[in-house]
Structure 1
């Protein structure tokens, strides 16, 4: 009887240990990445990651937020005039690049269903972007191609063009 009780207690302790470790891993995996980490994890946004790093906006997009990011895809950057991206990534143009990137960010968490109800919204850069939902979902001249990517500090909508402010 003593051996059986010892085995039972050992099995119970091991079971509790594995259940606790499993619950901890599950809790850790359920936590969302922040906006910057989510962008880094998406292979269709590698050019945006390069631009964010060049403008030194990583900490901003890791911040408390909440923010809404209209994230240009890699294909969107290809659509820029020849030489534009290389010029923007030049260290001497860091402020211009930061202004362009913050033109893609809105303070607050705005789901697609909320955005399409508006005509315009002010960006972190300071200018308004125009919202057109009459034929799809567009921000200025960019079509929103993927919506409502949830992050720990906001939401991301992927767009097919880089939108440029008047600077």
Structure 2
């Protein structure tokens, strides 16, 4: 009898804890919900990489993703939110910096740089304002709204979101540099 009462009390305590945890999770804000990997985006057939290829303005990014091994990870994983530097963003770098970055000699740094552009979870444009300081795969970002549109770390979002089955992609015409690698980037050492 005491054993049954003890088991019943333990079960009741576990259920109360689970109920409190789920209530706390729903009250903790949308930021934590949106950054959690979840289901595929409905209605989309193409992968993140296919969407980048079809857009035609992310060729340098695609080469960099393949060089670092991130392409394979992003192809089927996710969902993700990718702030995708356009070819124009890479073209704005000095020749020396672009060559140092994309030469293949420092893929660890290039991977860190690219991971700074990727959020876990799919965040649609209608919910970007909820995430003021989201955590990327490498470092924290700052998302803000200006009169001309959204910015990520002061780099403007340069177009509408692009959807794929496992990601939402935001074109940006600049590169986001992780704080912890600023002084050790290729060409600076």
TM-score normalised to the size of structure 1? 0.77
Give the Cα separation in 1 of the matches to 2:154 and 2:74: 24
Give the Cα separation in 2 of the matches to 1:53 and 1:112: 27
What residue number does 1:86 align with? Answer: 99
Unaligned 5+ runs, structure 2: 1-42, 182-189
Q: Which has the larger radius of gyration?
A: 1
The DSSP-based 3-state class of the residue aligned with 1:128 is coil
- Large movers: runs of 4+ above 4 Å: none
What residue number does 1:112 align with? Answer: 125
Which of the residues 32, 50, 53 maps onto 1:37?
Answer: 50
Q: Deviations over 1:73-129 (max 9, x none)?
A: 11111112331121112222101000001100000000111112321110012x111
What residue number does 2:135 align with? Answer: 122
Unaligned 5+ runs, structure 1: 1-29
Tell me if 1:150 matches 2:157. Answer: no
The DSSP-based 3-state class of the residue aligned with 2:126 is helix
The DSSP-based 3-state class of the residue aligned with 2:162 is strand
Structure number with higher strand proportion = 1
Question: How far did 1:60 drift?
Answer: 1.1
Give the Cα separation in 2 of the matches to 1:93 and 1:130: 26
What residue number does 1:11 align with? Answer: none
Give the Cα separation in 2 of the matches to 1:118 and 1:58: 25
Count of residue pairs brought into register by the alignment: 137
